[in-house]
Amino acid sequence: MMDRRSLLAGAAGLATMRASAALAMAPVSPGVPAGVVDNAPLEALPGKKPLIKLSYRPPNFETPVEYFRDAITPNDAFFVRYHLADIPQVDAAKWSLKIGGGANPLTLTLDDLKRDYPAVEVTAVCQCSGNRRGLSQPHVPGVEWGYGAMGNARWKGARLKDILEKAGVPKEAIEIVFRGADGAVNPKTPNFVKSLPIWKALDENTIVAYEMNGAPLPHWNGFPARLIAPGWTATYWMKHITEISFSDKPFDGFWMKSAYRVPLGLFPSTDRFISQETPANTPITEMMVNSLITSHADGAKARAGASLSIGGVAWDSGRGVARVEVSTDDGKSWREATLGPDLGRFSFRTFSFALGKPRRGKLSVMARATNKAGQTQVSTAIFNPPGYHHNVIQKITLDIA
């Protein structure tokens, strides 16, 4: 759990912000419940810029859209998501990762991880499964995220495949089970323990990361090491990871058996977690193709007769963004935007589109992304009780004056 000194430091930081009038109502996403709009301030956790605070205990802080104007999200602006409130300040010198259930059980220190395994880097979007939940209609329970429960970073670490193979993968293993250092305050609350199918664990892009954008992982994003499962939603990206074990049967803990599940066949998912499927539902796995206009907020003003361009980011589960299209006539016609540099198939892909020199009045702008598998954003949200996979085509209105 965070010690008294850390809590006091955080409180002092927040008090300083309030005293200096730096605390302001957050630029929450249009469409979230009114209560969120009225009660979501910008506050800064230690080491972070002011983010949109949706809860403090456990900490759930959303990234303002302005930080997505570039493909890489700064560490100090990266969103924060926890399920449990007992969050330790991990001492890297004392941290270890235990891998059990194989022929050669391992206990790795941070130095072991860096020295004994080839370092690899993957640029990948980390997106909360409930990103945009607050836009669900009707609204559903849970953290009422707007657009900012996500971020894109360069993650560096060791391939999980290399670690597991050294530990000796049992031929009967169908899943790995893993947990982190954070825990529950109430003993009746189930610990946050997750599993991955063995094929995803052995994928060359799945890593145990210890660096983020060229620096050690921030405390709030999993220091000293976390699991990175590119293309899949962040429920599997275990922060402060401490234990991994092989399992020859489906793991039935609460966060797998009961949580983070969607009706079977509801979404166009191809990354199936078959050992965890039931006739009724399946675990959420890969992200849906999506895009976000980041250059302008809904209602932003622009000058009539001046050249105007919009821009944003697009992403998917790793099939790769094929194109982004823009409409200025409420979806009657679409024109292709210009894509920015390709930083890898799991990364944000920036896009831009020139709107010309618009006349005075209201100008609606929509953007939709399509991936290389032919999947495209939807016009209407596919409703599900947890509010997952919201990838509706975004529309903003600009005030041209």
Any idea what the CATH number is for the domain that residue 152 is in? 3.90.420.10
Report the distance separating Cα 4 and Cα 12, nearest Å: 12
| pTM, full prediction | 0.92
Chosen domain end from 250, 283, 316 = 283
Partners of residue 89 on adjacent β-strands:
none
Residues 163 and 198 in one domain: yes
Residues 278 and 298 in one domain: no
pLDDT tens digits, 300-325 = 999 999 999 999 999 999 999 999 99
Helices then strands, counting H and E runs in the chain, come out as 6, 25
SS3 category, 34: helix
pLDDT for residue 24: 56
SS3 category, 11: helix
Q: Is residue 214 part of a domain?
A: yes
Report the distance separating Cα 60 and Cα 42, nearest Å: 12
Residues 273 and 332 in one domain: no
Q: Is residue 81 part of a domain?
A: no
Q: Is residue 72 part of a domain?
A: no
pLDDT for residue 5: 42
Q: Is residue 175 part of a domain?
A: yes
Q: Is residue 70 part of a domain?
A: no
Q: How many domains does the chain have?
A: 3
Q: Is residue 260 part of a domain?
A: yes
Residues 294 and 255 in one domain: no
Q: Is residue 90 part of a domain?
A: no
Q: Is residue 251 part of a domain?
A: yes
Report the distance separating Cα 16 and Cα 32, nearest Å: 29
CATH number of the structural domain spanning residue 346: 2.60.40.650
Residues 102 and 47 in one domain: no
Report the distance separating Cα 58 and Cα 112, nearest Å: 31
pLDDT for residue 347: 98
Residues 132 and 273 in one domain: yes
Residues 18 and 102 in one domain: no
DSSP string, 104-153: S-EEEEHHHHHHHS-EEEEEEEEE-TTTTGGG-SS--SS----S-SEEEE
Structure tokens at 384: 């599900």
Residues 231 and 324 in one domain: no
Chosen domain end from 219, 251, 283 = 283
Residues 200 and 251 in one domain: yes
Chosen domain end from 15, 34, 60 = 60
Judging by beta carbons within 10 Å of its beta carbon (0-12, 13-18, 19+), is residue 214 exposed, middle or buried?
A: exposed
pLDDT for residue 30: 84
Report the distance separating Cα 185 and Cα 187, nearest Å: 6
pLDDT for residue 16: 38
Residues 34 and 141 in one domain: no
Low-confidence stretches of the chain (pLDDT < 50) are: 1-23
Angle at 181 between CA 178 and CA 184, to 5 degrees: 100
Structure tokens at 238: 């275990």
pLDDT for residue 25: 62
What's the whole-number average pLDDT of the chain? 93
Residues 181 and 158 in one domain: yes
Residues 113 and 246 in one domain: yes
pLDDT for residue 124: 99
pLDDT tens digits, 201-240 = 999 999 999 999 999 999 999 999 999 999 999 999 999 9
SS3 category, 65: helix
Domain that holds residue 118: 96-283
